[in-house]
Amino acid sequence: MRFILSTALLALVALSAYAQAPAKPSEMEAPASLQLKGYNSRDIETFVKAYSDTVKVYNSPGQLSYKGKDELRKRYSSMFAQTPDLHCELVNRIVSGNVVIDHERVQFSKDRPRKEAIAVYRIKNGEIYEVTFISPDKN
């Protein structure tokens, strides 16, 4: 009886530790997680590694802002260099098929409030091939 109770207790402890362990990102989440890591460390090489060469970037649904990894690198290199306080907090993430939707709070400067943002990533072959940024309406 002691053996059964000890085994059950050990199983409960193991399950509890498993439940509290941080979840590994899914295959579809991996590029979104990689670009966020590069963004927060302002590491342009890590950041662009998550994107396809032909990525399309939209500032709101249906409005193409620019395309291509070279243009992405140019724009973000400049922003990373000019924004030492840059940090993105991931508030929530939804994964559905090949779409990853991130609700974010972005800090550009410590003396200004964070901005709410939504990023919708479309992923294929382990790369982000399209991203749409959506800003909430201002009141």
Contact 114, 106 (CB under 8 A): yes
- Per-residue model confidence as pLDDT tens digits over 1-23: 444 434 333 443 344 443 444 44
- Per-residue model confidence as pLDDT tens digits over 85-137: 999 999 999 999 999 999 999 999 999 999 999 999 999 999 999 999 998 87
- CATH number, domain of 104, equals 3.10.450.50
What is the pLDDT, as a whole number, of residue 135?
86
Residue 94 lies in a domain: yes
Contact 28, 123 (CB under 8 A): yes
What is the full DSSP assignment across 87-103?
Answer: EEEEEEEEEETTEEEEE
Domain count, the chain: 1
- Per-residue model confidence as pLDDT tens digits over 38-63: 999 999 999 999 999 999 999 988 89
Residue 20 lies in a domain: no
Residue 126 lies in a domain: yes
What range does the domain containing 106 cover? 25-134
How much is the CA Rg of the chain, to the nearest whole Å?
A: 19
What is the pLDDT, as a whole number, of residue 137?
77
What is the pLDDT, as a whole number, of residue 15?
40
Confidence of residue 139 (pLDDT cuts 50, 70, 90): low
- The model carries a pTM of 0.79
Residue 7 lies in a domain: no
Alpha-carbon span 16 to 26, nearest angstrom? 21
Alpha-carbon span 38 to 81, nearest angstrom? 13
